[in-house]
Amino acid sequence: MSKRWLSTTAPCAFLKRPQFDVKHVIRDRNQYEASIQARDIVGGSELLKQLQCIPQDYEDANRLDKLIAHLQKKRKSLEGALKADKSLANQLGSELKNCKLEFQRLNQELDQKRGKIQDTLQCLPNLIHPSVPEVHPEIVHWINPSPSYQQDRSRDHVDVMSRKQMVDFQTAANVTGNSWYYLLNAGAQLEHALTTFALLKAQEAGFNFCIPPSIARNEIIDACGFRPRDMNNEQQIYHLADTQLGLTATAEIALAGLGVNKVMDLSQGPRKLVGLSRSYRAEAGARGKDTKGLYRVHEFTKVELFCWTKPKDSCKMLEEIKDLQIEIVGSLGLPAKVLNMPANDLGAPAYKKYDIEAWMPGRGSFGEITSTSNCLDFQSRRMNTKFKNAATGKHEYVHTLNGTAMAVPRVILALIENFYNPTKNIIAIPECLRKFMGGREYIE
């Protein structure tokens, strides 16, 4: 089961303090409790206790607010009387001093209450869509179904690509370390072909092209939901020493940053971007699992989809992104399955998530190659990204969605293991990629 690490975010100069709807959380407290329990969050028991304290803390904060307002009124009255008649200094001076001391004490207590509430709200995961399974993924669609799913070690991508001089793991291990690699010759050409193909498909679907930075402020990374430790207690982010910066684990982070402290124009519909970037994961393998080959690596090229929508449009947009992913994977000819992911596999920002897993015969298992999530206003509240509601004239938080258009190393792995012919020692190139590889049909 997936584990999630939760933390609070220290105030910073760049991002404004998130504005949470406390009344909404109190009203739907049972749903938030269910979300914490279903996600199997690390530290979930403590978070549940903090959540249960919010109604009383909120009531106490309102009471303190009223006491402070009453005290302020009394202090102004005393100051007015003293100003009108200086002879009352001895009589009113002590009372005025006590008012000021009590004002400071109550303000300090109020700040502590509000800070406690803010910290709890900051740690809460998103709610969960009613259609999300509890424990096991639900298969919602098959792509290019295969008549047989049997392991075939002769198709292992590490062996095939190494023999054909498409990849060099050993030299990369000497130069950089384990879980790094050189893509060479046809291997490098495949990466170029896959990224070009995915970018074209995304732009045909109305996504505007963007090349974002691969470094972001830590508070932006955290606001996106990438905590210092995430699944399987892995450290996801490379943090740069003596800075408040980190390498991005996906273009989603920098793309989301385009909306920081902005009011977006969504009058013509959702705003859609496709970003091409290098991505970095500090821990490539979960406790030694999948550390061989291209499945889990520290650095890779990724084409990422990102959307800002009005709240009423986000569920529809999630389906559109999923359908685009199906079209891309289907065009590549890969046998795969589309999964409605269970609650215990959702990251804190995700309201609902679809994964596509491709069959990888050399590994003898299905492996994730795409993911798409609807995050509702989880990220936008932390990023202060809003739109103007034309009906009310008020600014409201947008909904954000993200999805993989192409995670290059895993797709290369899947292509090699599915389209390698051990008898002829050739790899068939999917028809949709051939024009980006000089018209070649095979890797000899």
Same domain membership, residue 208 and residue 254: yes
Same domain membership, residue 255 and residue 341: yes
- Do the annotations mark residue 298 as ligand-binding? yes
Tens of pLDDT along 135-151? 999 999 999 999 889 99
pLDDT score of 326 more than 70: yes
Same domain membership, residue 192 and residue 118: no
Q: What is the mean pLDDT of the chain?
A: 90
* 242 domain residue, yes or no: yes
**pLDDT (0 to 100) of residue 8:** 37
* 13 domain residue, yes or no: no
* 226 domain residue, yes or no: yes
- Do the annotations mark residue 402 as ligand-binding? yes
Same domain membership, residue 142 and residue 115: no
**pLDDT (0 to 100) of residue 77:** 81
How far apart, in Å, are the Cα atoms of 120 and each of 111, 349, 373? 14, 15, 23
- Do the annotations mark residue 233 as ligand-binding? no
Same domain membership, residue 100 and residue 215: no
Same domain membership, residue 211 and residue 70: no
DSSP track, 136-186: S-EEEEEES--S-----GGG-HHHHHHHTTSEEHHHHHHHT-TT--EE-TH
pLDDT score of 287 more than 80: no
pLDDT over 90, % of the chain: 80
Tens of pLDDT along 221-251? 999 988 644 444 556 789 999 999 999 999 9
- Do the annotations mark residue 282 as ligand-binding? yes
- Which of 94-103, 189-198, 216-225, 386-395 is predicted with the least confidence, judged by mean pLDDT? 94-103
- Do the annotations mark residue 370 as ligand-binding? yes
Same domain membership, residue 143 and residue 106: no
Same domain membership, residue 174 and residue 44: no
* 174 domain residue, yes or no: yes
Q: In CATH, what number is assigned to the domain containing residue 313?
A: 3.30.930.10
* 1 domain residue, yes or no: no
Please, are residues 273 and 317 in contact by the beta-carbon 8 Å criterion?
no
Tens of pLDDT along 406-429? 999 999 999 999 999 999 999 999
**Boundary-marking domain end, from 123, 155, 176:** 123
328-357 in b/e form (b: 16+ CB < 10 A) is: bbebbbbbbbbbbbbbbbbbbbbbbbbbbb
Same domain membership, residue 287 and residue 366: yes
Same domain membership, residue 360 and residue 327: yes
Same domain membership, residue 379 and residue 255: yes
- Do the annotations mark residue 26 as ligand-binding? no
DSSP track, 324-375: HHHHHHHHTT--EEEEE--GGG--TT-SEEEEEEEEETTTTEEEEEEEEEE-
* 6 domain residue, yes or no: no
**pLDDT (0 to 100) of residue 212:** 97
d(CA 165, CA 183): 9
- Do the annotations mark residue 368 as ligand-binding? yes
**pLDDT (0 to 100) of residue 100:** 85
* 129 domain residue, yes or no: no
Max CA separation in the chain (angstroms): 108
- Do the annotations mark residue 281 as ligand-binding? yes
**Boundary-marking domain end, from 94, 123, 152:** 123
- Which of 98-102, 113-117, 142-146 is predicted with the least confidence, judged by mean pLDDT? 98-102
Q: What is the mean pLDDT of residues 90-110?
A: 83
**Domain count within the chain:** 2
Q: In CATH, what number is assigned to the domain containing residue 84?
A: 1.10.287
d(CA 329, CA 238): 30
Same domain membership, residue 158 and residue 88: no
**Boundary-marking domain end, from 77, 92, 123:** 123
- Do the annotations mark residue 283 as ligand-binding? yes
* 14 domain residue, yes or no: no
- Do the annotations mark residue 284 as ligand-binding? no
Structural domain boundaries enclosing 34: 22-123
- Do the annotations mark residue 162 as ligand-binding? no
pLDDT score of 2 more than 50: no
- Do the annotations mark residue 417 as ligand-binding? no
0.75 cut: is pTM over it?
yes
Contacts of 111 (CB under 8 A, 6+ apart): none
DSSP state of 228: S
- Do the annotations mark residue 252 as ligand-binding? no
